[in-house]
Structure 1
Amino acid sequence: MNRSRSTFWLAGIAVAAALAAAPAAASPDKPVIALSNAYYGNTWRHQMVEAFEAEAKKAKEEGKIADYIILNGDGSVAQQNSQIAELILKKVDAIAVDAASETAVNGIIEKACKAGIKVVSFDSVASAPCNFQLNFDFTGYKKQQAEWVMKKIGGKGNIIVVRGVKGSAPDHDMFAAQEAVLKNYPDVKVVATVYGQATASVAQAAIANVLPSLPHVDAVLAQGGSDDTGIAQAFEQYGGDYAKKMPVIEGGGSSNFVQWWAKQKEENGYSTISMNTTPGIGGAAFWLAYKIVKGAEPPKTMIMPVATVTDENLKDYTSLPAGVIVSPSYSEEWVEKNLLAKK
């Protein structure tokens, strides 16, 4: 993590602490909705929190909620357990949880449920039976993307696997999906597996550290959250044969990567595919939590769509600002139509 990102992270935690300290005056008509976000150290999570906050502000301005609270963590289970315990004491009406672990926060979530608090875990979900899950089909879309890459390199060659946020449910599911695909390609060799923490700077450093000791790399399977940009930068800086032909790098929805890809495509016909979970889910999680408090009875498990960029629609995304993840926003109406109406 670079210095500016660290500053942003600490500032986010400070803001969250200030919000947490503010009184939350709930009422039956105007609930208090909280976000417990276990990890704040990458672009995807920043954008997710912004999506939650944008919808929460809108709801507060419209008089639908009394207040909202945002708590960002350092990735540890201990801190998230402490934060949720604090939210229980504050008697919030609902908590949206982007979990540090699929299982290790279940105990505190069960306590929240017993206190009458509605809990929605999302993105990195928790498996507590009482909570609602708003998830992505990490296994399905990662298998699809990995299959595309394997066919692109002709089913043979050397690859690097870049994992995501260590210990998270998405990392486990995506890595398992990639491994399942790789079993069908015996002529593909994994020459390195590193953790990129779904962060450009971490992924760049991880790739740069292993490249000098590796044979020529034909492709990189990654996880998203801006790791794609860091991977591309590492290969560009390494140079050598990669200056003429870059490996096929799985895109994870970073606008910087999309712009790099477009330039590479124009210069030398570079081709890849980008598929990513959408950080706009933060807004969907807010409205889902709100609707459940207000009496909605959705399915216990709901699946969000992913965003896909291909050579065919690449031009549609090249005008995105730098430093963002490809994502729509999700409104109250979208949640009603696409989540609550499906059982």
Structure 2
Amino acid sequence: MKKACFLLSALLATSVCTMHVAHADDHAPLRFVLIPKVVHPWFDKVNNGAQAAAQMLSKATGRQVTVEYRAPQSADVSVQNDIIERAIATHPSGILLDPLDEKGNRSTMEEAASEGVGLTVFDSPAPEGMDVTGVGADFCEQGTIAAERLVALIGKKGDVAIMMGVPTAPNHALRAACEKKVFEKYPDVKLVATGIDNDSIETAQKQASAIIQAHPNLAGWVTCDASGPVGVGQAIRESGQTGKIKEVGLDNLNDMIQLIKDGVAESSASSRPEMQGYWAVVVAWQKASGQKTPKYVDTGIDILTKSSL
């Protein structure tokens, strides 16, 4: 923590001094627009971190920094693109985006660049071929951790399933691919089913219930988004198979934490949403101030277990 604070202090000192040279007369407020995948408690945590960063930067620089939160009501690429286009039209200082589909969002991301609106992505790898910083965890590592923990829990033997999240989302797809690679390493572990929840707890619960009924020998679950493990855990509990069907979840929603406390899920490989929002704003502020930004900011992974909670 001390090292992180020192690095942030150094970053602010360097950037502020440079900004005062390049933009000595520019004290206009900075306004950023934060656009997540969908309305969701996980993104509320991201927004909390973003608002904290805006307050910190305002106090540290004397320049007003604000973040507007605009979340799609559904995980739909066309809806998200419409929000992006509307944000561009307001000429913000920058857009912070969690893309639902790198290809589907490509044209609006390029539109932002062409209009001179700085773009930062969070909870996602940086899009290929664009000068954009990505902020988030190592999503392959996160999926790998979850899958390896599950394999150990089931004794390296048994039928398993994956809840895919939004399959077009870069981070969800990467987690799923790396989870599958783990399962392929173990000859006695068989992937028998995949569900798609589109970042909806209710959809995850319904799909998980159907998969549990269709596969009576199912030994365990991993997931690719924050909604999936909550819905899966609910389905495990409702089927009366707590303890029999093992689950390793993702992320740190309150419902996920409760499932761990209740013994429905063994653990969760959690990214840090508040930290993603915080550093996405810091990066966007650097970009708006005329500074170069890194290609990727890795915000790390926490392993949540009953003992660690």
2:128 corresponds to which letter in structure 1?
Answer: S
**Deviation of the 1:104 alpha carbon:** 2.3
- Distance change (3 Å), C-alpha of 1:85 and 1:157: same
Deviations 1:170-223 (A, max 9, x none): 111011001111111121122221123344322211111222221222111112
Structure 2 alignment gaps of length 5 or more:
1-25
Q: What is aligned with 1:341? A: none
Which residue is equivalent to 1:338? none
Write out aligned runs for 1:212-231 (5 A): 212-231=213-232
Query: In structure 1, what is the Cα distance between the partners aligned to 2:45 and 2:107?
Result: 28
- Pair 1:263–1:133, CA change in 2 (3 A): closer
Distance 1:81 1:262 in 2: 38
Q: Which residue of 2 aligns with 1:285?
A: 280
Shift of 1:156: 1.0
How many angstroms does 1:101 deviate by?
1.2
For 2:27 and 2:132, the matched residues in 1 are separated by: 21
Indicate conservation of the 8 Å contact 1:102/1:124, yes or no: no
Distance of 2:67 and 2:212 partners within structure 1: 45
Q: Is the alpha carbon distance of 1:70 and 1:282 closer, same or farther for their aligned partners in structure 2, counting shifts above 3 Å?
A: same
Deviations 1:290-338 (A, max 9, x none): 122123322222222112123xxx3442xxxxxxxxxxxxxxxxxxxxx
Give identity over the alignment, percent.
Answer: 21
1:49 pairs with 2:43: no
Q: Which runs of structure 2 are paired with 1:64-143 in the superposition (5 Å)? A: 64-65=63-64, 67-73=66-72, 74-125=74-125, 126-143=127-144
Shift of 1:272: 2.6
Specify the alignment match of 1:301 in structure 2. Answer: 296
Residue type at the aligned position of 1:291: Q
Whether the 8 Å CA contact 2:146–2:249 is kept in 1: the answer is no
- TM-score, normalization by structure 2: 0.80
2:10 matched residue in structure 1: none
* 1: CA distance, partners of 2:256 / 2:89: 43
Give 1:61 shift.
7.3
CA distance in 2, matches of 1:259, 1:71: 28
Correspondences of 1:194-343 after superposition (within 5 Å)? 194-239=195-240, 242=241, 245-252=243-250, 253-264=252-263, 272-280=266-274, 281-310=276-305, 314-317=306-309
SS of the residue aligned with 1:72? coil
Q: Is the alpha carbon distance of 1:210 and 1:230 closer, same or farther for their aligned partners in structure 2, counting shifts above 3 Å? A: same
Answer yes or no: is the 8 Å Cα contact 1:165–1:197 preserved in 2: yes
Assess if the C-alpha contact under 8 Å between 2:249 and 2:265 holds in 1.
no
The whole-number CA distance in structure 1 between the counterparts of 2:160 and 2:200 is: 19
User: Which letter does structure 1 place at the counterpart of 2:244?
Assistant: M
Aligned to 2:188: 187
Question: How far does residue 121 in structure 1 lie from its aligned partner after superposition?
Answer: 0.9
Query: Matches of 2:136 and 2:262 in 1, distance apart?
Result: 33
- 1:103·1:127 contact (CA, 8 Å) conserved in 2? no
* Shift of residue 65, structure 1, vs aligned partner: 2.7
Equivalent AA in structure 1 for residue 174 of structure 2: D
1:137-156 C-alpha deviation (Å, 9 max, x unpaired): 11122112212221221211
Bigger Cα displacement from structure 2, 272-281 vs 295-304:
295-304
Compared CA separation, residues 161 and 66, structure 1 to 2 (3 A): closer
Worse-superposed segment, 172-181 or 110-119: 110-119
Take 1:36 and 1:232, find their aligned partners in 2: how far apart are those partners? 28
Q: Partner amino acid for 1:275?
A: A
CA–CA distance in structure 1, aligned partners of residues 45 and 202 of structure 2: 17
Question: Separation in 2 of the partners of 1:286 and 1:148?
Answer: 33
Judged with a 3 Å threshold, the aligned counterparts in structure 2 of structure 1 residues 78 and 254 are, in CA distance, closer, same or farther, namely closer
Change (3 A) 1:100 1:55: same
Aligned-partner residue type, residue 82 of structure 1 = D
- Calculate the aligned-residue CA RMSD, in Å: 2.4
- Asked if the contact 1:100–1:124 (Cα under 8 Å) also holds between the matched residues in 2, the reply is no
Judging changes above 3 Å, is the alpha-carbon distance between structure 1 residues 117 and 43 closer, same or farther for their aligned structure 2 residues? same
What displacement does 1:58 show? Answer: 5.7
Report if the CA contact (8 A) 1:274-1:309 is conserved: yes
Tell which deviates more after alignment, 249-258 or 216-225.
249-258
| Distance of 1:81 and 1:258 partners within structure 2 | 32
Q: Is the 8 A contact 1:147 1:181 kept in 2?
A: yes
Equivalent residue letter for 1:260 = L
Partner of 2:17: none
Structure 1 counterpart SS, 2:70: strand
Structure 1: unaligned runs, 5 residues or longer: 1-26, 265-269, 318-343
